[in-house]
Amino acid sequence: MTRFTLRLSLAAALLLAAQAAAAQAPTGNRPAVAVAALAAPAPATAVPAQPRRLQLRSELILSRDLVSFGDLIAGLAPDAASIPAFRAPALGETGTIQVARIVEAARGAGIITSAAELESNGAAQVVVTRAARRVLASDIEEAVKTGLQERYGVDARAFALTLDGGAPSIAVEPELTGDTVVSDLSYDARSRRVMARVSVPGSMALRLKPVRIAGQLVETVEVVVPKRAVARGETLGKNDVLVERRPRDGQATDLIGDPRVAIDKVATRALMAGAPLRAGDLRREEIVAKGDLVTLVYESRGLTITMRGRAGEAGAMGDVISVTNPQSKRVLHGTVSGPGRISVQASTSGTIAAAP
């Protein structure tokens, strides 16, 4: 019985060994798979991805009274971007926010956990400008003139408004496009003093902080001024001058008020842009210079006589100048009628006929 048991155990052991050997024997496909696996490079070690840094803007222009985190930091989710961070500057003003304050506020709002998450490109502050529409002195003057016409029937087109202390600095919301208007307008016809409150329809800024002005209407005259600096001897064209109204008091009496008087004239001195032109500042352009050889022309009843002469003086178109006959040395007088051309009237026909 014992011998049979040993034989059975030995047979079982041999059977198990045969099954293990059969399991390790390669099949038709296994060698190729094994070769391919050995030939493939070992997988690279994965590098941990660096967290993306949020980009801080260096400057921005706002039309709102609050600066949100989305204004300051690019790429935030909508919920985080809409969180208010700081108060914006006043309308039309520019201010700065230190980067350290932005980091502190962003950490407090849970947007970042450390300053390393925010990329500022070395900037120490962010420049914030509040967009605005400026109300100019010309806007105020136009509004006052309109108000005087509507309320008092005063035609103030020939007057200028001089504001006490100069024009105030007025800024309103940039989206407003309506005309500047005045209210609470008062006017003293004897002294020409005016007082009013300035407003722009729909402006909350002017409603919260009204602006009042006071000034006086002064009589003005039309004057011609150069648009640019003009050198001595330079000829003015129609695009070089414009007409402006200036206060009459203190102005010279020989000011030029008609632009046609200045066009095609030559500056007798250097002229400043915006300075009113006076009669002595300009002269007609000379088309005949002193000493030029010119042609004397006499025409009468179908008869034309021409002769050469030398100009005794310079002249512009229409000027009467003296001309000397080089041969006889006789001096004649004629009117400059073109470049190098002098016309002689019939009254001087005797002189012309006597000249050889």
Q: Are residues 276 and 293 in the same domain?
A: no
7 part of a folded domain: no
Per-position DSSP letters for 168-227, written without gaps between them: --EEE-TT--SPPEEEEEEEETTTTEEEEEEE-TT-HHHHHS-EEEEEEEEEEEEEEEES
**pLDDT tens string 237-285:** 999 999 998 888 777 888 999 999 999 899 999 999 999 999 999 988 8
Q: In CATH, what number is assigned to the domain containing residue 227? A: 3.90.1210.10
270 part of a folded domain: yes
The yes-or-no verdict on residue 356 having pLDDT over 90 is no
Q: Are residues 94 and 143 in the same domain?
A: no
pTM: 0.58
Q: Where is the domain boundary, 236, 261, 284?
A: 284
Q: Are residues 203 and 148 in the same domain?
A: yes
Total tally of structural domains belonging to the chain: 4
17 part of a folded domain: no
Q: Where is the domain boundary, 253, 284, 315?
A: 284
Nearest-angstrom CA–CA distance, 47 and 249? 83
Q: Are residues 113 and 144 in the same domain?
A: no
Say what the pLDDT of residue 157 is.
85
Average pLDDT over residues 162-170: 94
**pLDDT tens string 126-135:** 999 999 999 9
Q: Are residues 339 and 276 in the same domain?
A: no
Full residue range of the structural domain in which residue 264 is found: 223-284
39 part of a folded domain: no
What percentage of residues in the chain have a pLDDT greater than 70?
Answer: 82
Q: Exposure string (b/e) for 290-319, b if CB count within 10 Å is 16 or more?
A: eebebebbbeeeeeeeebebebeeebbeeb
Say what the pLDDT of residue 355 is.
38
110 part of a folded domain: yes
Per-position DSSP letters for 269-284, written without gaps between them: S-B-TTPPPBGGGEEE
Amino acid letter, 181: V
Per DSSP, the three-state class of 25 is coil
144 part of a folded domain: yes
Q: In CATH, what number is assigned to the domain containing residue 304? A: 2.30.30.760
Q: Where is the domain boundary, 98, 131, 164?
A: 131
Average pLDDT of the residues of the chain: 83
